[in-house]
Amino acid sequence: SVVEDAPALTDGFQLVIDALKLNDINNLYVVPGIPISDLLRMAQAEGMRVVSFRHEQNAGNAAAIAGFMTKKPGVCMTVSAPGFLNGLTALANATTNCFPMILISGSSEREVVDLQQGDYEEMDQLAIAKPLCKAAFRILHAQDIGIGVARAIRAAVSGRPGGVYLDMPAKLFSQVMDAAEGAKSLVKVVDPTPAQYPSAEAVNRALDLLKGAKRPLVIFGKGAAYAQADETIRSFVEKSGIPFLQMSMAKGLLPDTHPQSAGAARSLVLQEADVVMLVGARLNWLLSHGKGKTWGKPGSKKFIQVDIEPREMDSNVEIHAPLVGDIASVMEVMLKGIDGGLTPPTDWMATVAAKREQNVAKMAPKLMSNASPMNFHGALGALRRIIKERPDALLVNEGANTLDLARGIIDMYEPRKRLDVGTWGVMGVGMGYAVAAAVESGKPVLAVEGDSAFGFSGMEVETICRYNLPVCIVIFNNNGIYRGTDVNPTGGNDPSPMVFVPGSRYDKMMEAFGGVGVHVTNPDELYRAVNEAMDSGRPTLVNAVIDPAAGTESGNIGSLNPTSSVRKM
Ligand code: ADP
Ligand code: MG
């Protein structure tokens, strides 16, 4: 018959799915709508995991953190114009954090957009995305889907990882072509992250500095965690005997309780070290730009920096020994290089350890507080125990005081388990990160959220319930932003812009969608509720009542608030 003789056909929908699956991308973080709804239905039918969110920014944040966790680009799909713009915030955040991610947005037809004739959700998305991400491409023909997806993947993961935008006009999906030709057009990316070794000269320069140091220090950033060179890094640290600091999302690369950890002696080591080796950490605001009183006497340090991005060198201060390359390769050569030639700085390490023990002992009684209403330390003492007992659980953390104090108090034991506000210090990543953490790892997730931070992505509790994910959200509810005590100075009826409805019951939001809601007022209750949630794996939200007067303005970064001598609040 005519039908049997006709050549087998394929279409744009199918080729997008085939191209992603061929490259081992099996999870999609999405918000459906015109023109991608059928694409998502088909992707699910083809065995992909399609996680459908309530807002694109949260879907995008999920894709971004999936990229960090897996070293493969996390993929987010959105509709055009406003959906695209919502996703773009997450793409920009991923790029800033060096997480590989691909944002695929449906778009309107070029003919109409380019003549600005006013289409449904008309927007020149490619042009808008370009300055905010690492690369941006548009695919106009079905036969280019294979090469377009391959370019997006390579652009996202090679060199310094980042976000890539892929524009797919609606008509692309319905284009039809010969199935055999279509199959041939697909590309499996070969060696997307090639090993990059530094020259022998660069390695020797760094080794000379390290060997001559009296008070060396290594600082690991989230780039080191991302690199998945965990064993090499551990061997380097232990063989060298050098104390180390771990930036927020690098915590757990080595256990925070490791004898060489200087986490609880941070001020001392930053001031006193004479040679500092940065590994996948930028000297940005999170490290006071490498200068100022945090860093001791001006000119008292020499820096070694390991980074895949050559332009990162000398970004803030002079880097005396740049090591440009991928962390796995560089650390492998450095490990060989210190063999025999480096004497562990035992006196310095002992000084650091003494300071650490002193600070840990000072903190310990605060963490035992069972006061009600809870302060941050009492509540975090309970959660610290949870992670100690479940080192393989994922910890998501955002807020102001909730972030700063949790970062210091909750020890991490395994790499890539702590997911937080990252380079921007941004609020709103919480639920997106929590969903992806559960989906990508299959492990229980604890999300420790300030009440304000939670509000930016709170509707995704429905998503967590719908997919029945093992996520336990703890809201540190102190009735407001920073604190819950601000009042309207005019005495008018409006509340201060800094406070929320006092005594809110966020736990009831979870119950509305069939999850477990718990209301707790002291650390014992908090520990019990979280422990049960982590055991059961049921979606849970714990509303933890914190003293509204606890906490400080902007947490640890209050100094970033501009002040004027004319107006003092
Ligand atoms: P943190 O905020 O934890 O200090 P940053 O995000 O500032 O970490 O720094 C991460 C750095 O790691 C970036 O400069 C990035 O270029 C680098 N990086 C990421 N992946 C790799 C890799 N595989 N090899 C080398 N450098 C990497
Ligand atoms: Mg608050």
How far does the centroid of ligand 2 lie from the alpha carbon of residue 552, in Å? 10
Total residues found in the chain within this entry: 569
The total of other beta-carbon atoms located within 10 Å of residue 215's CB is 22
ipTM of this predicted structure: 0.97
Angle, nearest 10°, between helix axes 523-536 and 376-389?
30
Residue 6: which pLDDT band, with cuts at 50, 70 and 90? confident
Which two tokens mark 156?
């996202």
Counting from 1 in the atom list of ligand 1, the atom nearest the Cα of 312 is: 14
Best mutation site among 218, 226, 246, 288 for ligand 1, i.e. most ligand atoms within 8 A of its Cβ? 226
Q: What is the DSSP string of 508-567?
A: HHHHHTT-EEEEE-SHHHHHHHHHHHHHH---EEEEEEB-TT-S-TTGGGGGGS---SS-
CA distance 195 to 215: 31
Counting from 1 in the atom list of ligand 1, the atom nearest the Cα of 287 is: 4
């509709």: which residue's tokens? 79
CA distance 567 to 240: 52
CA distance 484 to 470: 30
Name 311's bridge partners: none
Who's near 458: CB < 8 A, 6+ residues apart?
431, 506, 509
How far does the centroid of ligand 1 lie from the alpha carbon of residue 283, in Å? 11
CA angle 446-286-400, nearest 5°? 45
Query: What would the mean pLDDT of 128-157 be, rounded to a whole number?
Result: 98
How far does the centroid of ligand 2 lie from the alpha carbon of residue 457, in Å? 15
Which two tokens mark 164?
């890539």
- pLDDT score of 288: 96
CA distance 59 to 32: 11
How far does the centroid of ligand 1 lie from the alpha carbon of residue 423, in Å? 11
Ligand 1 lined by 280 (C-beta under 6 Å): yes
H/E element, 176: strand 176-178
R_g over Cα of the chain: 25
pLDDT, tens only, 239-257 = 999 999 999 999 999 999 9
Residue 363: which pLDDT band, with cuts at 50, 70 and 90? very high
- CA nearest 318: which of 283, 285, 269, 287? 283
Which two tokens mark 421?
């506000």
Residue 569: which pLDDT band, with cuts at 50, 70 and 90? low
Which two tokens mark 173?
């999906």
pLDDT, tens only, 471-493 = 999 999 999 999 999 999 999 99
Name 322's bridge partners: 305
* Cβ 132 vs Cβ 92: under 8 Å: yes
Running DSSP on this structure, what letter comes out for residue 8? P
272 residue type, one letter: E
pLDDT, tens only, 19-70 = 999 999 999 999 999 999 999 999 999 999 999 999 999 999 999 999 999 9
Counting from 1 in the atom list of ligand 1, the atom nearest the Cα of 97 is: 6
* Cβ 176 vs Cβ 19: under 8 Å: no
% of the chain exceeding 90 in pLDDT: 94
Q: How many CA atoms lie within 13 A of 372 on its CB side?
A: 9
Query: What would the mean pLDDT of 292-314 be, rounded to a whole number?
Result: 96
* Cβ 34 vs Cβ 404: under 8 Å: no
- pTM of the entire predicted model: 0.97
CA distance 509 to 528: 20
H/E element, 232: helix 230-240
């390769």: which residue's tokens? 329
Query: What would the mean pLDDT of 427-433 be, rounded to a whole number?
Result: 97
CA distance 70 to 437: 10
Tell the burial category of 183 from Cβ atoms under 10 Å away from its Cβ (0-12, 13-18, 19+): middle
């088909």: which residue's tokens? 42
* Interstrand relation of 176-178 and 9-11 (parallel, antiparallel or unpaired): antiparallel
Counting from 1 in the atom list of ligand 1, the atom nearest the Cα of 222 is: 3
- pLDDT score of 168: 98
Taking 70 as the threshold, does the pLDDT of residue 190 lie above it?
yes
Residue 199: which pLDDT band, with cuts at 50, 70 and 90? very high
- pLDDT score of 341: 84
- pLDDT score of 544: 98
- CA nearest 454: which of 423, 429, 419, 479? 429
Mean pLDDT value across the chain: 96
- pLDDT score of 557: 86
* Cβ 224 vs Cβ 279: under 8 Å: yes
